[in-house]
Amino acid sequence: MHKGIAASSGIAIGCVFLLEEDDFIVQKREIIDEKFEISRFRSALNKTKQEMIQTKKKALQRLGKKHARLFDAYLLILDDTMLRQDTIEMIAKNKVSAEYALQQVMEKVLLFFKEIDDEYFKERGQDIYNVGRKVLRHLLGREKKVLSQLESQVIVVAHNLTPSDTIAMREEKVIGFATDIGGKTSHVAIMAHSLEIPAVVGLKDITKKIKNGDMIIIDGDQGIVILNPDPVTIENYYRKQQIFIAEEKDLEKLKDLPAITLDGQEINLVANIEVPEEIKSVLFHGANGIGLYRTEYLYMNRKDFPTEEEQYESYKVVAKNMLPYSVTIRTLDLGGDKVTQQFKLAPERNPFLGLRAIRLCLKYPDIFKTQLRAILRASTEGKLKIMYPMISGIEELRQANMILEEVKKDLRGKRIDFDNEIEVGVMIEVPSAALVVDVLVQESDFLSIGTNDLIQYSLAVDRVNENVTNLYNPLHLSILRLLKRIVQAGEKAGKWVAMCGEMAADPSVTTILLGLGLREFSMSAVSIPKIKRVIRSIKIKETKQLADEIMGLSDNCQIKKVLRKKEV
Ligand code: PEP
Ligand code: MG
């Protein structure tokens, strides 16, 4: 049994699909029959070509001509003498294996392009390298190691997954996953949760202990994985899985009941989404709107920026389908663990403290304006709100609002309709924002607490680092004090305050959050019934007493003791 971090509930039992890190170590191997090696190389080229033609066909169907053109460039690289001829010559001259020759040629090409002081050419070098790797995979017999070509249901085991890998799983046959690294509130974990894929992260070296085709059990509640379990264990876990499914079904019954406390306080339960396709699940789980639409996912798995039109279409679909409810669109929050290719930024040493979210948007106002225009145009189709991520002080809020005003003015000038009354809110997820929340609230229509980042930044605990997960403590007195401060600032200014971080989805803290005065919770749609069940079982008066009691305690052991007592 291997202990990791529980990232997404549920039990998965299946075969391992090991998503290896992409570095192949190719040993030098001398050969006698160079003709045979050259024909192996040609056949690998050919297989790669056929594979690319198939992928191009798929891209044509799904993404249209423009994006499919990218594959023409790859096909040209395959035919280029740089890879083809040089490798053949090296096999013939040095009498080495095809894979070794190709690897040498690829390294040479990469080095050559790296030395050119031009970003464009550097990238072309990487393209040639990537095409070379595909050929290498065939030579090494490692074809089909990509998520998009899965033929049966599998459990993906990987050193690391990026949010874009996870989003690719949406359409694939992935029933669970386990990773060496990662924390509970990493975006990969959040995605797994909303896709309802059981997941355990932060297992440190699971990829070294496992091979393709091994049997594995993922227990996403306990945060454990079991390799090659015996039949009795498998049987037990199948039973656990049935219980989990039955509980989920039971929770579904709450879907159409109101989220109301025993003493009649209504609570607004809304959903977090990453992509418009989630709306079905949002409505299914009984959400009263969308409190956080993470729009940065529109930028993932592609090289170009999404156009205004594309963004407009996505926002329009969400706005329309969610009527009569409202949708809070968060402006681009790239950076941190959500890295995309468009900005071509060099890797940062501390990405979570770097050019992230609103900082990136203020540095690239044209990109920001395109998104704001798309949101404003879509605002006539439903009830949209705008929310800025990672605001750290009033200056950033004013700058963002100034840009928004410019966009509005431009639209008015062009007689393009939008909702003139659109509300604009601020995420409170940086400690400095929480400390000046009384100032920020004056110039915003609402606040939404992003506890994932607020906790990370307040406690100095990297949310994606498995080594410090034990220090990531939502009930730290400092966090409770910040939450109280934010809610009170909202109350005083007559503005509503929501919470959209993962803390809002944790039923063990719902009572405290209600006691602190929170009345809107936004979370992955699947979590809504669980939170609703807690809400429907308590009185506000009791929640206030609990919050007061907890706030009077100074250490975490005492807090946990009190909470445990209340559970009984
Ligand atoms: C948060 O930080 O709590 C939040 C909701 O935003 P994200 O998880 O996308 O950083
Ligand atoms: Mg955040």
Phi, psi of 497 (to 5 degrees): -125, 130
* Nearest ligand, measured from the Cα of 291: 1
Give the C-alpha distances (Å, rounded to integers) separating 333 from 35, 193, 244, 452, 473.
54, 19, 34, 13, 23
Distance between CA atoms of 166 and 388, rounded to whole angstroms?
Answer: 24
- Determine the atom of ligand 1 nearest the C-alpha atom of 453: 2
Q: How far is the CA of 31 from the centre of ligand 2 (A)?
A: 55
User: For residue 23, which amino acid is it?
Assistant: D
Are 330 and 294 within 8 A, CB to CB? yes
* Nearest ligand, measured from the Cα of 330: 1
CATH of domain 262-567: 3.20.20.60
Q: Which residues line ligand 1 (CB under 6 A)?
A: 292, 294, 333, 429, 450-453, 500-501
User: For residue 262, which amino acid is it?
Assistant: L
Smallest Cα–Cα separation from 340: which of 313, 319, 312, 364?
364
- The confidence score (pLDDT) of residue 74 equals 80
Q: How far is the CA of 454 from the centre of ligand 2 (A)?
A: 8
Q: How far is the CA of 353 from the centre of ligand 1 (A)?
A: 14
Distance between CA atoms of 76 and 49, rounded to whole angstroms?
Answer: 10
Smallest Cα–Cα separation from 167: which of 14, 296, 357?
296
- The confidence score (pLDDT) of residue 106 equals 87
CATH of domain 147-250: 3.50.30.10
Distance between CA atoms of 219 and 237, rounded to whole angstroms?
Answer: 9
Choosing from 194, 272, 333 the residue with most ligand 1 atoms within 8 A of its CB, the one to mutate for a pocket test is 333
Residues marked as catalytic: 187, 500
Give the dihedral sign, CA 116/118/119/120.
negative
- Nearest protein CA to atom 3 of ligand 1, as residue: 450
Q: How far is the CA of 216 from the centre of ligand 1 (A)?
A: 31
Q: How far is the CA of 403 from the centre of ligand 1 (A)?
A: 23
Give the C-alpha distances (Å, rounded to integers) separating 310 from 7, 63, 453.
32, 12, 29
Place of tokens 């009345």: 519
Distance between CA atoms of 490 and 496, rounded to whole angstroms?
Answer: 6
- Nearest protein CA to atom 6 of ligand 1, as residue: 450
- Nearest protein CA to atom 8 of ligand 1, as residue: 452
Smallest Cα–Cα separation from 322: which of 285, 280, 373, 294?
280
* Nearest ligand, measured from the Cα of 292: 1
Q: How far is the CA of 133 from the centre of ligand 1 (A)?
A: 35
Helix, strand, coil percentages (3-state) for the chain, rounded to 5, are 55, 15, 30
- pLDDT tens per residue, the chain (568 residues)? 999 999 999 999 999 988 866 555 677 788 888 999 999 999 999 998 998 888 778 777 766 676 667 678 788 888 888 889 999 999 999 999 998 899 899 888 888 887 887 777 777 777 788 788 888 888 877 644 556 556 678 899 988 887 666 766 766 688 999 999 888 888 888 888 888 899 999 999 999 898 888 999 999 999 999 999 999 999 999 999 999 999 999 998 998 999 999 999 999 999 999 999 899 999 999 999 999 999 999 988 777 899 999 999 999 999 999 999 999 999 999 998 888 878 878 888 899 999 999 999 999 999 999 999 999 999 999 999 999 999 999 999 999 999 999 999 999 999 999 999 999 999 999 999 999 999 999 999 999 999 999 999 999 999 989 899 999 999 999 999 999 999 999 999 999 999 999 999 999 999 999 999 999 999 999 999 999 999 999 999 999 999 999 999 988 889 888 888 876 4
User: For residue 271, which amino acid is it?
Assistant: A
Q: How far is the CA of 449 from the centre of ligand 1 (A)?
A: 9
Please name the residue ranges forming H helices in 30-186.
34-63, 65-79, 81-94, 98-114, 119-139, 163-169
Distance between CA atoms of 477 and 341, rounded to whole angstroms?
Answer: 39
The 3 state secondary structure assigned to 236-285 is HHHHHHHHHHHHHHHHHCCCCCCCECCCCCECEEEEEECCHHHHHHHHHC
CATH class (in words) of the domain with range 23-140: mainly alpha
All structural domains of the chain with their residue ranges: 23-140, 147-250, 262-567
Task: Indicate the pTM of the whole model.
Answer: 0.76
- Determine the atom of ligand 1 nearest the C-alpha atom of 448: 5
Give the C-alpha distances (Å, rounded to integers) separating 165 from 169, 237, 310.
7, 27, 22
The residues that bridge with 42 in the sheet, in sequence order, are none
User: For residue 160, which amino acid is it?
Assistant: N
Q: How far is the CA of 185 from the centre of ligand 1 (A)?
A: 8
- Determine the atom of ligand 1 nearest the C-alpha atom of 190: 8
Contacts for 152-155 with beta carbons within 8 Å, 24 or more apart?
152/15, 153/14, 153/15, 154/14, 154/15, 154/16, 154/17, 155/12, 155/14, 155/15, 155/16, 155/17, 155/216, 155/218
Cβ partners under 8 Å of residue 40, min gap 6: 98, 139
Are 477 and 552 within 8 A, CB to CB? no
Cβ partners under 8 Å of residue 62, min gap 6: none
Helices 65-79, 81-94: axis angle to 10 degrees equals: 30
Are 140 and 161 within 8 A, CB to CB? no
CA 500 distance to own-chain centroid: 14
Place of tokens 């990238």: 123
* Residue 327 DSSP SS3: strand
Quote the radius of gyration of the chain (alpha carbons, Å): 26
- The confidence score (pLDDT) of residue 76 equals 87
Half-sphere exposure of 285 (CA within 13 A, CB side): 28
Smallest Cα–Cα separation from 136: which of 216, 79, 81, 78?
78
* Nearest ligand, measured from the Cα of 474: 1
